[in-house]
Structure 1
Amino acid sequence: MQEKKMITYQSVVLLSSDIARSKQFYQDLFNLEIQLDIGALVTFVGGITLWEKNTAMPLLYPGVKEVSNPEKPAQELYFETDAIEEFASIVKNKQIKLLHDVDLTPWNQRTIRFYDPDGNLIEMGESMDHVVKQMSKSGLSPDEIAEKTWMPKEYVSMVLQSG
């Protein structure tokens, strides 16, 4: 009997029109550590890879002169921080193009969305653990928190028990 091969996730690959600019963007804003840098391809620890668009396109679409890009990104990179206001201040100070400033989602998580230098959408949100703990500190019951965050009661209880 042949053993099944495990499939493992490695990385999201973002095409970059300026690899140096994009590499600096991700290093400066997220303090990402480079795992591999071979010039036209940069992989960060944690699963983000940048690939120089001019190198990638002929390999991905051989013989195609031009590949149309959608007007809106088809993906979003998601990060979390419990210091959302401080992070938003950094984004604004760097004059990064915003989709929206810090905003409250319908499930009561504060998020900010912005674009990297190549127009890829990035979201930074508070962790839901943080949201649950803050709501508890404000006096809401676990049932009220579950209702306001759309999180299962079991999840809310687990977060509150973890301290």
Structure 2
Amino acid sequence: MNENKPFSYHSTVLFVEDVERSKKFYTEVMGEEIELDLGKNVGFKNGLAIWEGEYGRNVIFGDPSGGDYSSKKMLEIYYETEDMAETYEILKSAGVEFVHEVVEQPWRQLTVRFLDPDGHMIEVGERMDVCIGRLAASGETPEMIAESTMMPAEIVNAILANRD
């Protein structure tokens, strides 16, 4: 990582009404290849990702039926970091408007979301290999990590094998 930039662009996330319909559109019409399908969110090999909208709004804002975000189409620009503490301090010192401060998502990844000067939402999340390593260092078994992160066991095991 560049010492002046502890995070890097990863993907753009579209919040969609029907994941299966959108998955079919992006694979059959747009020719995208699925890299990882976790049900409520799908990552394509080109860096585009889709999230089930209500699920995404609930994860980010708590109650998906309330607030200004319930009826809006949403887009999120996603970055990844190896060092969430450093990233958070950089963002805090820059005076960004946080959507939420650092939180652990239901799949155990640490994330922070904030707005750019025009109100577009940006998320910085710890890379999943870093997340898996953090969980392993805390004493969790590969099986526990696979279950709590929703990552396939073979991916968790491969990540942990590469850390040794």
2:97 aligned residue: 97
Shift of 1:136: 1.2
2:122 aligned residue: 122
Shift of 1:74: 2.2
Shift of 1:137: 1.4
Decide which structure has the larger Cα Rg and report it. 1
1:147 aligns with 2:116: no
- Return 5+ residue gaps in structure 1 as ranges: 1-26, 33-46, 48-69
Shift of 1:115: 0.7
Shift of 1:28: 7.9
SS at match of 1:107: coil
Between the aligned partners of 2:6 and 2:119, the Cα distance in structure 1 is 15
Q: CA RMSD in A?
A: 2.7
Higher strand share: 2
- Return 5+ residue gaps in structure 2 as ranges: 10-46, 48-69
SS at match of 2:107: coil
Between the aligned partners of 1:30 and 1:72, the Cα distance in structure 2 is 28
2:20 aligned residue: none
Give the total of aligned pairs: 101
> In 2 relative to 1, CA 71–91 (structure 1 residues): closer, same or farther, beyond 3 Å?
farther
Q: Contact 2:103–2:112 at 8 Å: present in 1 too? A: yes
Q: Contact 1:99–1:115 at 8 Å: present in 2 too? A: yes
The amino acid that maps onto 1:97 is E
Shift of 1:71: 8.1
> In 2 relative to 1, CA 94–85 (structure 1 residues): closer, same or farther, beyond 3 Å?
same
Between the aligned partners of 2:8 and 2:132, the Cα distance in structure 1 is 26
> In 2 relative to 1, CA 152–93 (structure 1 residues): closer, same or farther, beyond 3 Å?
same
